[in-house]
Amino acid sequence: DALGVGRHVVVLVPVGIPLYEVLLGVFWGGRTAVLVDPSLPRDRLDAALRHVGVHAFVSIPKGHLLRLKVPTLRRARSMLCTRSLGPVARSVYGDEPGPMRSPEPGEPALLTFTTGTTGVPKAMGRSHRFLLAQHDILAGHMGLGDTDVDLPTLPVFLLNSLACGATCVLPDGDLRDVSALDPQRLSEQVRAHGVTTSSGSPAFFEPWVSWLQAHGQTLPELRRLFTGGARVPATLVERMVQVFPNAHIEVLYGSTEAEPMASLDAHTLLNETAQRERDGEGTCVGTPVLDVRLVDPDTGDQAAPDGVGEVWVSGGHVNRGYYRNPAADAENKVTDGSVVWHRTGDAAWRDAQGRLWLVGRISARVHGRYPFPVETRAEAVAGVRRAALVAVGDVAVLAFSGTADADVVREATGVADCRRIQNIPVDPRHRAKVDRDALVRLLGSG
């Protein structure tokens, strides 16, 4: 309590009950919780924390070793631990809670960071008002209530589920790598606790679905499932329908700055968009749930009705600016009167039904071609598990994993240089997005 209102508290606690106890304590005292990704390179993590300022550090005992490599953490006024460490850091459970306070004006309730794959991560502040707006749209869209039992993998979704009155069951395992969770244990948790809903990236559902299919099992108990955080292959949704036969399945499209932005239900995907995806039209993410503009990335003009443009979004749950970062605001925010538009960096086109079709990142264009249409064509080839289009020097290279012959992939995509590799590198956060920089390094060294 002596830390004071408006102070920044770095929280490095694995997803579990202690994490939410710490977050509620930080919010209660009118302070700002700062959530970081410990997998970031240490220099980028230190620069990001130095930019926002750190007053306290709360972690599990192992997390305090990070102070050896991150100088900004060592300068924190208070060191606290979810278990006592004696003279190194005191336990967070030793004090009675002080009075509930509001944050200082201009200070957010929560600070999170972008992935930082191309530089120092940008800090994004969420006020209590913003968190409430985000909760309202998620609650209305996901439809959870006090009769639901949720199995979430993302902290923000767990907070939303608790606020809806739902019971939450934490997946048994290390949520830093959702692809490594034990599918058998997940299935046992669903049956033992009466789980009705779950959410996670494709990397979370893929091994679970594969295990259920391999063991001839289904989970009819699940009624609502949500996936996103990366491109969701239509083939995965098809398989999810088979092993979760009673579930309403939705693909959500969103980002750190705006979650969610659009959604697509499995029925529409399988019956109306899946084949078009295989034909190379892009990846449909469904109907927007906020205001969207498509802007030509080369001219800055409104994109043609059937043309590709950068996705700009605005709405109550869209971040209006980065924390103390006018340069990032100038690059990613556009003000139109009282309306602030966020530039997502994603390219898409809109079909006759108003649905968005993503074709990839603006920055990921290779010789004028967006990656998603090429990659979905490749993944429609029998024996291709995953594909990614990148530029290696001046050469367009399509890397793919699986057993398919490179000549067949070349014929299907029109990319002259097709290379089979063991695994496509993915991001450390969701374990689902292609890490294109890492792939370029891998292909360039080969």
* CA distance linking residue 389 with residue 368, whole number of Å: 12
Check residue 135 and give its pLDDT.
92
Q: What per-residue confidence (pLDDT) applies to 446?
A: 62
Residue 318 in tokens: 């869209």
pLDDT at 86: 53
**With contact defined as beta carbons under 8 Å apart, do 49 and 42 qualify?**
no
What count of other Cβ atoms lies within 10 Å of the Cβ of residue 49? 25
Q: Which residue shows structure tokens 């244990």?
A: 185
Q: Is 275 helix (H, G, I), strand (E, B) or coil?
A: helix
The predicted structure's pLDDT at residue 95: 60
Sheet arrangement for strand 417-420: 384-392, 395-402, 417-420
Half-sphere exposure of 91 (CA within 13 A, CB side): 8
Per the structure block, which two tokens stand in for 161?
A: 């589920």
> What's the CA gap between 274 and 233, in Å, rounded?
9
> Are 124 and 113 contacting, i.e. CB atoms less than 8 angstroms apart?
yes
DSSP assignment string, 130-191: HHHHHHHHHHHHH---TT-EEEESSHHHHHHHHHTT-EE---SS-TT-GGGS-HHHHHHHHH
CB-count burial class (<10 Å; 0-12, 13-18, 19+) for 70: buried
CA of residue 189 relative to chain centroid, distance: 24
CA distance 370 to 333: 23
pLDDT at 10: 96
Concatenate the DSSP letters of all residues of 76-131 into one string: -SEEEESS--TTS-EETTSS------PPPTT--SEEEE---TTSSPPEEEE-HHHH
Cis peptide bond upstream of 297, omega within 30 = no
In degrees, to the nearest 5, what angle opens at C-alpha 18 toward C-alphas 10 and 323? 25
- pLDDT tens string for the chain (446 positions)? 567 889 999 999 888 888 888 998 899 999 999 998 887 889 999 999 999 999 999 998 888 889 999 999 999 988 888 765 555 566 666 566 778 888 877 789 999 998 765 567 899 999 998 889 999 999 988 999 999 999 999 877 888 999 999 999 999 998 888 999 999 999 999 999 999 999 999 999 999 999 999 999 999 999 999 999 899 999 999 999 999 999 999 999 999 899 899 999 999 999 999 999 999 999 999 999 999 999 999 999 999 998 999 999 999 999 999 999 999 999 999 999 999 999 999 999 999 999 999 999 999 999 999 999 999 999 999 999 999 999 999 999 999 999 999 999 999 999 999 999 999 999 877 788 999 999 999 999 86
What per-residue confidence (pLDDT) applies to 388? Answer: 98
Question: 282 with 349: CB under 8 angstroms?
Answer: yes
pLDDT at 90: 65
Q: pTM of this prediction?
A: 0.90
